[in-house]
Amino acid sequence: MARISDLLAAGPTYSVEFFPPKHEAGWLSLGRTISELEHLAPDFVSVTYGAGGSTRTRTADLVSWVRRQTSISPMAHLTCAGHTRDDIRAILTDYRAEGVENILALGGDLPADGETESDYRFSMELVDDVREFGGFSVGVAAHPELHPRSPDRGTDRQHLANKLAAADFAITQFFFDIEHYLVMIDELASLGVTKPVLPGIMPISNLGQITRMAHMSGAEVPGWVIEAMEKAGDNLDAAERIGVDLATELCARLIDEGAPGLHFYALNRSWATREIFRNLGLRPAL
Ligand code: FAD
């Protein structure tokens, strides 16, 4: 098992994000997905967390399963929304006992009716607590197209720079236009940030679903992406293939531009990620 800060120091990392399924069938299918992806030797996999603790047990179970049953290093997402400091200490204590070494420290979005007691306002406070607890490599979220609650660009970037001064690395929300990522990296550099910012890649298979997700996270689905995807019509296989081609092109440009790695939002499936690895010639020796 490895700390992500050490992996990033050694060279580009290729990683995949999963969410903990709700039902038995989802766990079985995710087990297959992980074993298919294990052949690609991802540097780490990350597991999402339901803000307020809605997936607390399932996230911990999946993180532990990856650590015990696979050769891949896991990272647990953890959100501060809806949690007390005691909750967070208890969760970190369990992860430490389990040998988990990586935490993605997030704000989290509680559902509209999810107002519960919280000792935290911003993810930065969680980063500080995880640091003080000790023993974890800590990542944070970055929003190339700005976080929807940021009042302006400068404030968004300054808060991100403050987080990155304390954390080891960031992972971005997904984006389709590389300029959003490159401009953000330049803006962070001008604020003195030198920590790695991993681009988050979402291979599209369902335009409607991605448009809804993008809307919630403040991201844009550019017209040229919509046009390309619409060429598939009702042909789901063609849509997946176009999504993979678009993502491959974006990844190739990111690698050329010196991105510190690629983080795939795989939505618990393996095909698109495997195709992109193959197209890019990643892990050729395997
Ligand atoms: P914060 O860093 O707290 O930022 C939120 C807003 O507050 C921003 O506008 C920021 O500029 C502002 N802000 C920060 N600090 C201050 C300050 N000191 N004063 C004033 N304003 C401030 N959500 C989940 O629920 N579960 C997950 O597993 C999950 N995984 C994610 C993984 C990645 C890679 C990404 C990019 C996002 C993920 N999210 C997840 C979504 C995330 O929780 C939401 O985007 C959330 O709204 C913001 O999270 P954050 O960590 O950026 O919050």
DSSP state of 260: S
* E strand map for the chain: 13-18, 44-47, 73-79, 102-106, 137-142, 169-174, 197-201, 261-265
Instruction: Note the pLDDT of residue 286.
Output: 58
Q: What atom of ligand 1 comes closest to residue 146's alpha carbon? A: 9
Instruction: Note the pLDDT of residue 283.
Output: 81
Classify burial at 10, counting beta carbons within 10 Å of its beta carbon; exposed 0-12, middle 13-18, buried 19 or more: exposed
Mutation pick for ligand 1 pocket among 17, 49, 58, 159 (CB with most ligand atoms within 8 Å): 159
Q: Whole-angstrom Cα distance, residue 286 to residue 42?
A: 11
Mutation pick for ligand 1 pocket among 56, 63, 116, 122 (CB with most ligand atoms within 8 Å): 122
Backbone angles phi, psi at 124, to 5 degrees: -55, -35
DSSP state string for 90-146 = HHHHHHHHHT--EEEEE-----TT-----S-SSHHHHHHHHHHH-S-EEEEEE-TT-
Q: What atom of ligand 1 comes closest to residue 106's alpha carbon? A: 51
Query: Would the CA dihedral through 80, 82, 84, 87 be positive or negative?
Result: negative
Instruction: Note the pLDDT of residue 285.
Output: 61
- Residue 152 CA to ligand 1 center (angstroms) comes to 15
DSSP state of 51: G
Query: Would the CA dihedral through 174, 66, 43, 133 be positive or negative?
Result: positive
The protein residue whose alpha carbon is closest to atom 33 in ligand 1 is 141
pLDDT digits (tens, 9 = 90+) for 4-61: 999 999 999 999 999 999 999 999 999 999 999 999 999 999 999 999 889 999 999 9
Instruction: Note the pLDDT of residue 115.
Output: 64
* Ligand 1 binding pocket, CB closer than 6 Å: 48-49, 51, 77, 79, 106-109, 122-124, 141, 147, 149-150, 156, 159, 163, 171-173, 200
Q: Find residue 105's DSSP bridge partners.
A: 78, 140
Q: What atom of ligand 1 comes closest to residue 147's alpha carbon? A: 9
Q: Which domains does the chain have, with CATH numbers?
A: 4-279 (3.20.20.220)
Q: Whole-angstrom Cα distance, residue 175 to residue 166?
A: 25
- Annotated catalytic residue, options 17, 145, 240, 275: 17
Instruction: Note the pLDDT of residue 1.
Output: 78
Instruction: Note the pLDDT of residue 52.
Output: 87
Which of 2, 7, 12 lies closest to 277, judged by CA?
Answer: 12
Q: How far is CA 157 from CA 147, 182, 187, 205, in A?
A: 10, 13, 7, 31
Backbone angles phi, psi at 250, to 5 degrees: -65, -45
Instruction: Note the pLDDT of residue 114.
Output: 57
Q: What atom of ligand 1 comes closest to residue 155's alpha carbon? A: 11
Classify burial at 98, counting beta carbons within 10 Å of its beta carbon; exposed 0-12, middle 13-18, buried 19 or more: middle
Q: Mark the ranges of the chain whose per-residue pLDDT is less than 70.
A: 113-115, 285-286
Please confirm, yes or no, whether 17 is among the known catalytic residues.
Answer: yes
The protein residue whose alpha carbon is closest to atom 50 in ligand 1 is 107
